[in-house]
A and B are shown apart, each in its own frame.
Chain A
Amino acid sequence: MAQLGSTTGVKTPERVAVVAAGVVSPLGFGLAETLNSLRKANDCVTAVTRFSVAECRCKTAGQVPDDRLLAGPNKKRRAKRLHRASHMMIHALREAVMQVPQFEPELTIIGTTSGGMSHGEQYYRSLCRSGNLRHAPTWIANYPAQKPVIDAQEEVLGFSVQCQVIANACASGTNAIGHAFECVRSGRYQCVLTGGYDALSELVFTGFDSLQASTPEKCRPFDRHRTGMVLGEGAAVLALENLELARKRGAPVLAEIVGYGISTDNFHITQPDPSGVGPRQAMERALQSAQISADEVDYINAHGTATIFNDAAEGKAISQLFNGVPVSSTKSMMGHSLGAAGAVEAVISLLALRDQFLPPNINFEALDDSLDLNVVANESRSAVVRTAISNSFGFGGTNASILIRRVEA
C-alpha cells in the first residue's frame, strides 16, 4: 500500500491508525475502569499476596486480582491450565476485538520480559523438594513467552497468526508497538495486533529487590525523596491498521501512531547512561520519525520508574528536549509492569488523547532539585492533548519512544 510520490519516486509512508485497544492492569479491567482510576488518581499498589516477600525490602506491587482475572466467561478445562499471563492477554485481546470484530491481523507483535515465569518457579520448587511433579508437563508447556499470545489468539480469534515476541526488557511493550507501527507504515502489512504483557513472578520480584531497585516505600517518580520502583503486572493490546483502509471500511480510529524511536546506550546492563543520551536519542528519533517538533507534544507519559538513576537520566533528557511539557509516570499508580508497561502506558496515552486530560503522577511531594520538569502532580487535570509521547527504557540500555496523535474526525 505504500505509494510512490508522483514526482519524487520516493515511497510515501502509510499512516497508522489505532482502531481498537484493550487493557487489564491493577488500574482495572478494560478502558472504562482504567480511565476511572486515572481520573481519580487511585493508588492501586497493594501488599504482595502471590508469594512470600518476608525477606524482601519491598513488600508491595500492583496486582491484577485473580478473582476477576480467572472468573472470565471461559470455563473450558484447557483454560484452567493456562498461565495468568494468558488470562490477562485474553481479557485485553477480547476487549480490543469487541471494538473491531472484523479485524483480521496478519501478524502479532507482543512484548514481554518473563513469559510464564511463575510456572517455571513451581516446576523448580517441586524438583528441589522432590514434590509432586504431576503437573510439570503443564507448567513447562505453558512457560514459553509466546504461549500467552497464542492462547489469547486461539481463545478470542479462534485462530493464531504468527507472533513475534519481543523481549527487550522493560522497553519490550513500546518496542513491540513501535515495530508494529513500522510494519504497517512501510506498507508490508495492513493489520497488526500489538501490545505487551507480564505477570508478577517471585524470581523477577526478588531480582529487582536484590538490585535494591525496588522500594519499601511509595513509588514517587521524579520526586526529591524517591527511593525506587514497585513492580506491577498486566496486559494491553492495540489493533493497528493502515489508516486509509480503516477509514474506508468504517473502522473506529482511536488515534494515530505517528513516530517511533529506538536507541541502545551501552553504558551498563542495568543502569542508564547518566547523561540521558539513550532516552534523548529515543525521543529525538521518534520526533524525527513523525517529522514533528518537540513543541507539538502536549503530554509525556514517562518511563518514570522512580529509581534514582532512571528518573535522573530520563528527566534530564526530557528537559533538554521539551520546554515545560506536562509529564507523568503512571507507574506511581500501578507499579512497573515490565513487558506490559509500554503497552499499558500507550493505552493510557490513548485515553489522555481521547478524553483530553493529563493522567497523574501520584505520591509526588517535591521535584528533584536537579530536574526541570512540569510534573502532573497527584491529580489528573483537563487539558488539550493532541500529541503524546510514551517512553520505555530497559536493562541492556534499550530505549524506546512512541508518538501518538489524536485524529480529528
Chain B
Amino acid sequence: MSLAIAGMGWVTPLGNGVDAVWERLLRGDEASATPISEQFADRSYSAFRVPESAVTGLAHPRLRRASVISRFAATAGLDALQAAGVKVNSQNAGRIALIFAISNGGVIYTKRFYRDVVETGAQSASPLLFPETVFNAPASHLAAILGVTGTTYTVVGDGAVGLLAIKMAEDVMMDKSLDYCLVVGTEEVDWLLCDAYWRWRLLRSMPPIEPFGKQKRGMIVSEGAGAIVLAREGPITIERAHSGGCYAKRAEAEEILKRILRDLSQVEIDFVISSANGTFIDQAEQGALEQVIPDAVTYAAKPALGESVGASGLWQVILGAQALRHGELPPVLHADPAISLRLARSRMAVTGARRAIILSSGVNQQVAGLRLALH
C-alpha cells in the first residue's frame, strides 16, 4: 500500500511555511545559533531555536498553558491540513487518524516540574505542569483543537521516530474507514537536552554541523515540528516505508542501512535525503550509500536546520517531496570537499527526478528509511 502526501507543514529555525523555508534552504541560508544557559551550570550551549514569529497567531484555550512543543506541533499540523484542503468537522473527525513522533518530548516543563521537586520539595510540585510532561500532551492538544475522536497515537523513539510514525500510519491506514492520517513530528530545545547530548559526546558547543566529517565533531540541536497529511491518492507517494531495524552496537548501523538501501533501491533512485548530523551515524550512512547506491545525489539538511530529533524525519520527508516537486536540491552546507559522496554541494537541479530515499539514522539504536515517488 502506498499513501500520498496530500499536505505538508513545518515550523523550523528558519521560520515556517513550506515554500518560504524551502526558498531559504535553496539560497543556502543557515539557522542562527542561540546560546542556551542554565542557572546552576557554568557551561552554555548553542541551539537552533524557532523564531517567535513562526508560532504567533495560534490562540486556543488548550494551548494557553502548553509548552512550545505543543505550539510547534499545532502550527505545523494545521498548516498541513490547510495545504491538503482538509477541514476537520464533526462529520469527518472520526475518519482522520493522528500520529505523533516524539523523542525527548516536553523537556522544558519536565525540568521545571522536577526542579521544583528537587529544590523545594514535592509539596511545591505544580499540578499544572505535570500533565504537560506526558509524551502525548502535544497530540492530545492537537486532537482537541481539531476535534479528532478516533485513533491518536504518540510514538516515541530516536531520530528515526518520524519515519517509524509514517510506517505506523501505513499500518493504521489499512483501516479503510480512515480517509487521512496526519503525522506530526515535534521537539523542543532546553539546556538540559543540550547538556545530555554533550555528555554523551554527540554535541558540539558551536555550529557548524559538518556532515560526513571524519572528525565527528557533533551536532547542534534544534527544535520545531513537521507535519504531513497522508491520503489515499496524490502525485507524491510514500511508495515504500521500510521497517528498518535496531543496532546493538554502533558498527551494526551501517549493515542495517545497507539492507534498507538495497530494499529501497530496487528501482532507480534520483537522490537521497540523508540524516547526517555530524555524529557517528554519518559514517554509517556514508558507508552504506557508497556501497549500495554510490551514484545517487545526496542532500543533508541538518547543517542548515540542526538536529531536531523527533521532528527531523518529517522535515526530511518534506524536503524530499519539495525536491521532487520542484526538481532541485538545496546546497549541503559545511561539507568537506574531500567527502567522496555525490553531495549536492551547491543548489542542484534534479529535473525529472521521480524517486527519492529518505534515511533516518537515530543516535539511540533505531534506523529507518522510506522511498518517495512522484507520479
* A residues apposed to B, CB below 8 Å: 53-56, 106-107, 112-113, 115, 120-121, 123-125, 127-128, 130, 133, 136-137, 140-141, 143-147, 150, 153-154, 160-169, 175, 179, 182-183, 186, 188, 202-203, 206-212, 262-266, 269-270, 281, 394-398
Are B156 and A266 in contact (CB-based, < 8 A)?
no
The 9 closest A-B pairs by CB, nearest first: A396-B140, A167-B135, A207-B130, A266-B144, A55-B122, A160-B246, A186-B174, A210-B125, A145-B156
Q: Report if B131 contacts A (CB, 8 A).
A: yes
Cβ distance B256 to chain A, nearest Cβ, rounded Å: 9
Are B130 and A140 in contact (CB-based, < 8 A)?
no
CA distance A163 to B243 in the complex (A): 9
Are A164 and B114 in contact (CB-based, < 8 A)?
no
| Closest residue of A by beta carbon distance from B98 | A264
Q: Report if B123 contacts A (CB, 8 A).
A: yes
Residues of chain B within 8 A (CB-CB) of A140 are 196, 199-200
Residues of chain B within 8 A (CB-CB) of A120 are 110
CA distance A144 to B131 in the complex (A): 19
Cβ distance A107 to chain B, nearest Cβ, rounded Å: 6
CA distance A211 to B158 in the complex (A): 30
Cβ distance B122 to chain A, nearest Cβ, rounded Å: 4
Cβ distance B349 to chain A, nearest Cβ, rounded Å: 35
Are A398 and B152 in contact (CB-based, < 8 A)?
yes
Residues of chain A within 8 A (CB-CB) of B139 are 396
Known: A124-B192, A150-B248, A162-B246. A264 touches B149 (CB 8 A): yes
Which one, B126, B133, B143, B168, contacts A397 given CB within 8 A? B143
Q: Report if B17 contacts A (CB, 8 A).
A: no
Are B134 and A396 in contact (CB-based, < 8 A)?
yes
Summed over the interface, the residue pairs from A and B with CB atoms below 8 Å come to a total of 194
Which one, B119, B123, B364, contacts A55 given CB within 8 A? B123
- What are 29 inter-chain pairs, A to B, with CB distance below 8 A? A107-B243, A112-B156, A113-B135, A115-B156, A121-B114, A125-B118, A128-B40, A133-B199, A137-B200, A146-B157, A146-B364, A160-B245, A167-B135, A167-B156, A168-B153, A179-B171, A203-B113, A209-B125, A210-B127, A262-B151, A263-B150, A264-B98, A269-B137, A270-B131, A395-B136, A395-B137, A396-B140, A397-B140, A398-B152
Residues of chain A within 8 A (CB-CB) of B246 are 146, 150, 153, 160-163
Cβ distance A245 to chain B, nearest Cβ, rounded Å: 18
Query: Number of contact residues on B: which range applies?
Result: 35 or more
Residues of chain B within 8 A (CB-CB) of A182 are 171-172, 174-175
Are B130 and A210 in contact (CB-based, < 8 A)?
yes
Are A167 and B102 in contact (CB-based, < 8 A)?
yes
Are A167 and B200 in contact (CB-based, < 8 A)?
no
Residues of chain B within 8 A (CB-CB) of A208 are 130
Residues of chain A within 8 A (CB-CB) of B37 are none
* B residues apposed to A, CB below 8 Å: 40-41, 62, 98, 102-103, 110-111, 113-115, 117-119, 121-123, 125-127, 130-137, 139-141, 143-144, 147-158, 164, 167-168, 171-172, 174-175, 192, 195-196, 199-201, 243-246, 248, 364-366, 368
| Closest residue of A by beta carbon distance from B41 | A127
Residues of chain A within 8 A (CB-CB) of B248 are 150, 154, 160
Are B153 and A211 in contact (CB-based, < 8 A)?
no
Most chain A C-beta atoms within 10 Å of own C-beta, residue among B98, B102, B118, B147: B118
Are B149 and A281 in contact (CB-based, < 8 A)?
yes
Which one, B113, B123, B192, B243, contacts A162 given CB within 8 A? B243
Which one, A209, A211, A396, contacts B122 given CB within 8 A? A209
| Closest residue of A by beta carbon distance from B151 | A262
Cβ distance A314 to chain B, nearest Cβ, rounded Å: 18
Q: Beyond the given A164-B155, A211-B131, please list 17 additional residue pairs across the A-B interface where CB-CB is below 8 A.
A: A54-B122, A113-B134, A123-B196, A124-B114, A141-B364, A164-B164, A165-B156, A167-B134, A169-B134, A169-B136, A206-B117, A206-B125, A207-B125, A263-B150, A269-B137, A396-B152, A397-B140
| Closest residue of B by beta carbon distance from A159 | B248
Which one, B143, B245, B368, contacts A264 given CB within 8 A? B143
Are B199 and A263 in contact (CB-based, < 8 A)?
no
Residues of chain A within 8 A (CB-CB) of B136 are 167-169, 394-396, 398
Cβ distance A288 to chain B, nearest Cβ, rounded Å: 10
Are B154 and A168 in contact (CB-based, < 8 A)?
yes
Cβ distance B263 to chain A, nearest Cβ, rounded Å: 13
Residues of chain A within 8 A (CB-CB) of B102 are 167
| Closest residue of B by beta carbon distance from A2 | B174
Known: A127-B41, A160-B245, A397-B144. A145 touches B157 (CB 8 A): yes
Are A207 and B151 in contact (CB-based, < 8 A)?
no
CA distance A47 to B222 in the complex (A): 42
Are A136 and B199 in contact (CB-based, < 8 A)?
yes
| Closest residue of A by beta carbon distance from B170 | A188
Cβ distance B2 to chain A, nearest Cβ, rounded Å: 13
Known: A167-B154, A182-B174. A210 touches B149 (CB 8 A): no
Cβ distance B148 to chain A, nearest Cβ, rounded Å: 6
Known: A113-B134, A264-B143, A397-B143. A144 touches B158 (CB 8 A): yes
CA distance A345 to B126 in the complex (A): 30
Cβ distance A168 to chain B, nearest Cβ, rounded Å: 5
Are A188 and B171 in contact (CB-based, < 8 A)?
yes
CA distance A160 to B171 in the complex (A): 20
CA distance A167 to B98 in the complex (A): 13
| Closest residue of B by beta carbon distance from A124 | B114
CA distance A263 to B148 in the complex (A): 9
CA distance A137 to B200 in the complex (A): 5
CA distance A264 to B195 in the complex (A): 36
Known: A55-B123, A121-B114. A179 touches B153 (CB 8 A): yes
CA distance A305 to B118 in the complex (A): 27
